[in-house]
Amino acid sequence: MNSFRKRIRQSNKQVARKSSSTPILTRLGSQIAHQFETISSKQLMELRHLRCFVVLAEELHFTRAADRLHIEQPPLSRTIKELEDELGAVLFDRDRRGTRLTAAGTAFLHDTRRLFTVLKQARENTKAIAAGSRGNLRIAISDGAVDRRLSTFLAHCREKEPEIEIRLSEVPLAEQLRGLRSGDFTAGLAYTAEIDDDFVAEPLWQDSLVIAVPARHELLVHKEVPLHELGNHPLVLCDPQLCEGYYRELRRFLRPLKREPNVVEYTSSLDMMFTLVGAGFGLGFTTETRAASCCQRPDVVIRPLAAESAVITTYLLRPDSGTLSAPLERFISRLSTHICN
C-alpha cells in the first residue's frame, strides 16, 4: 500500500513539472517568433523607408513628396517617423516655416544615395552578365605556353571588349585541370591534348621545336640536327611536374631514339635551361618562337631539328560542358580568326 502511494506521489510530481514547464517554453517560442517577425518586417520595409526619405529630402515638402511617391501624406509621415524611431535620430525639422534636413538627416541622405547607387550598379551588372556583355575570363597558362601572338591577341580582346576582364594565371597542368573542373578557370592553354574525356582540347597554333646547343659544340656542324644524334648527348629537359604537358610532348618526340635519353638536369624555367646549356651541361629544347624572343646569348646557339615531327601544338582547354558563356564563345571565335588563321 505504501509503495502504491509513493508511485502516485512521484507521478503527480512529474505531471506538475511538465505542466509548469510548458507555459515557459510556449512563452519563449512566442518571443522568438515575434523577434523573427519583427526582423523580417524591418527588412521588408527598409528600402521603402529609404525611398520615402530620399524623396522627402529632395522635395522638403510632405505633399509634393507624397505625390511623387503616389501615396497619401499620412502614410508618408508614419514611414518617416518609423525610420527616425529605428535610427534613434531626428532627420527633419518641421515647423511653420517648412521642412528642413537636420545635420543627421543630411549625413543620412549622403549615405542613402550611395547605397542606391550601389544597388543600381548591382542590378545593371547582373543584367549585363546575364546578357553576356560583361563578366570575366580566367585563363590558366601551363607548360610555358605563351608567346607574342598571345600578347597581341589579348591586347586585341581588351580593345574590343574592355568591359570583359581577362585574368591570367600560370599554373601546372594538373592544377589547371582541377581549376577547369571546379570553375576556378574558364579556359586554359597547354602543350598537350592528352586529357580526360570531360575536357575539350582545341588546337590553336603550331611551333617548330628547336635545339639549344652550347657554343663550339660538335653538333654545330649540322645546319639541322638529326634526331638520332640526340641519343648520344646529355639533355636538359623541363621539369615533368611543373611543365607536365610540354614534358609529355618532348618524350613523345624522343620516343624513336634507340636508347633511353640521358637527362642530366630538369629545369623549371627557360632561362635556367639556357644557363645550363651555355655552361655545357647538355642540349635543351624550346620552340622557334620563344627562342627568337628569349635567346640572345653568345654561349648558346639555336639549331632546327631535321625531323618532320619536330613540332609542338598549343591547345585551348575547356570543360566539355556543352554550353559556353557568351564571353568565352566570343573569346574562342576571336582566337579562330585572329590567330589560327
List, for residues 152-188, the tens digit of each pLDDT value. Answer: 888 988 888 888 889 999 999 999 999 999 989 999 9
Q: Which residues pair with 319 in a beta bridge?
A: 199
49 pLDDT higher than 70: yes
CATH-assigned architecture of domain 206-313 = 3-Layer(aba) Sandwich (3.40)
User: CATH number of the domain at 135-202+314-340, out of 3.10.150.10, 3.40.190.10, 1.10.287.540, 3.30.430.20?
Assistant: 3.40.190.10
16 pLDDT higher than 60: no
Residue 56: strand, helix, or coil:
helix
Task: CATH 3.40.190.10 in the chain: give the residue spans.
Answer: 135-202+314-340, 206-313
Out of 40-54, 142-156, 303-317, pick the least confident. 40-54
Helix-helix angle 103-131:2-59, to 10 degrees: 90
At 149, is the pLDDT very low, low, confident or very high (cuts 50, 70, 90)? confident
37 and 45 in contact (C-beta within 8 Å)?
no
Closest C-alpha to 68, from 53, 86, 84, 82: 53
213 and 303 in contact (C-beta within 8 Å)?
yes
Q: Which residues pair with 92 in a beta bridge?
A: 101
Grid coordinates of 135: 563578366
53 vs 68, 203, 205, 340, CA distance in Å?
A: 12, 59, 60, 58
Write out pLDDT tens, residues 235-268.
999 999 989 999 999 999 999 988 898 999 999 8
Task: CATH 1.10.10.10 in the chain: give the residue spans.
Answer: 2-127
Closest C-alpha to 166, from 201, 134, 200: 134
Neighbours of 164 (CB within 10 A): 19
313 pLDDT higher than 60: yes
70 pLDDT higher than 90: yes
Is the sign of the CA dihedral 145, 149, 152, 157 positive or negative? negative
Q: Does domain 2-127 have CATH number 3.40.50.300?
A: no
Closest C-alpha to 289, from 208, 224, 170, 213: 208
Predicted TM-score of the model (pTM) = 0.61
The contacts of residue 70 (CB under 8 Å, 6+ apart) are: none
